[in-house]
């Protein structure tokens, strides 16, 4: 056995499943937000209810429900298996801020699609590409639908703000602090 001391502690990365769920969710959310804004602009602002607008709405509902399922899967796995211990060089305030950011992200990754789903149940607009209907979770009520859609839009904005802080922090750790935080989600970046 070698007695040479380790230059640094081994980097504890997220498991392959946790990383896959993280990056698939990232891609889907990165699609979902611009599609949501674009379809509302075409439909509500331009009053353009053509095939493209319809496809954007259908795609948004389908991807939104997929995100919800993936996040519930990710959370169940997270509670069952936990996460790797924090990067050892983090200051206490950085640990606190990163945990608050992560749990805020999880909360919004559930609240945003749930609000969208409740909204389409209230409207009701549950059909997806004429292929199948999402099961309604509440009885129709058009007036309530517009309130819930407004809440959905505001929560989605909040999600974008938390993601911006999250990405800025990941880049700060990698490019400025030069630690191994980003390597926890992208192991080949290990230093």
Query: Which member of 11, 24, 31, 65 binds ligand HEM (CB under 6 A)?
Result: 65
76-105 residues in contact with ligand HEM (CB under 6 A) are 78, 83, 98, 102, 105
**Nearest partner of 152 among 164, 144, 163, judged by Cα:** 144
Place of tokens 């509440």: 138
Cβ proximity to ligand HEM, 5 vs 10, nearer residue? 10
Decide: is 119 part of the binding site for ligand HEM (CB under 6 A).
Answer: yes
Please give the full DSSP string across 55-103, using - where no structure is assigned.
HHHHHHHHHHHHHHHHHHHHHHHHHHH--PPPPTT--HHHHHHHHHHHH
Decide: is 42 part of the binding site for ligand HEM (CB under 6 A).
Answer: no
Decide: is 182 part of the binding site for ligand HEM (CB under 6 A).
Answer: yes
42 contacts: CB under 8 Å, gap ≥ 6: 48, 50, 52, 53, 56
Instruction: Name the burial class of residue 9, with classes exposed (0-12), middle (13-18) and buried (19+) by CB atoms within 10 angstroms of its CB.
Output: exposed
3-state secondary structure of 133: strand
Of 3-11, 21-29, 45-53, 136-144, which part binds ligand HEM (CB under 6 A)?
A: 21-29
Decide: is 163 part of the binding site for ligand HEM (CB under 6 A).
Answer: yes
Decide: is 152 part of the binding site for ligand HEM (CB under 6 A).
Answer: yes
Q: How far is CA 137 from CA 70, 78, 113, 124, 134, in A?
A: 19, 27, 13, 10, 9
Query: Which member of 42, 61, 122, 180 binds ligand HEM (CB under 6 A)?
Result: 61
Decide: is 166 part of the binding site for ligand HEM (CB under 6 A).
Answer: yes
| DSSP bridge partners of 133 | 127
Of 2-10, 45-53, 116-124, 136-144, which part binds ligand HEM (CB under 6 A)?
A: 116-124
For residues 80 and 78, give the distance between their C-alpha atoms in angstroms, rounded to a whole number. Answer: 5
The residues of the shown chain that bind ligand HEM, judged by CB under 6 A, are 22, 25-26, 29, 32-33, 36-37, 40, 44, 60-61, 64-65, 67-68, 78, 83, 98, 102, 105-106, 109, 112-113, 116-117, 119-120, 149, 152-153, 156, 159, 163, 166-167, 170, 181-182, 184-185
């Amino acid at each position: 056995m070698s007695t040479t001391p380790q230059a640094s502690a081994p980097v504890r990365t997220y498991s392959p499943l946790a990383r896959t769920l993280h990056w698939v969710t990232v891609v889907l959310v990165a699609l979902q937000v611009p599609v949501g804004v674009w379809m509302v602009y075409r439909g509500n602002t331009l009053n353009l209810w053509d095939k493209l607008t319809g496809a954007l709405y259908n795609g948004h509902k389908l991807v939104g429900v997929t995100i919800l399922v993936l996040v519930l899967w990710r959370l169940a796995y997270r509670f069952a298996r936990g996460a790797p211990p924090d990067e050892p060089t983090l200051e206490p305030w950085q640990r606190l801020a990163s945990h608050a950011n992560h749990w805020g992200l999880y909360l919004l990754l559930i609240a945003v699609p749930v609000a969208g789903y409740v909204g389409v149940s209230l409207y009701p607009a549950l059909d997806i590409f004429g292929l199948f209907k999402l099961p309604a979770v509440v009885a129709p009520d058009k007036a309530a639908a517009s309130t819930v859609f407004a809440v959905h839009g505001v929560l989605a904005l909040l999600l974008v703000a938390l993601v911006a802080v999250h990405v800025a922090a990941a880049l700060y750790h990698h490019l400025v602090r030069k630690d191994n935080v980003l390597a926890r989600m992208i192991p080949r970046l290990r230093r």
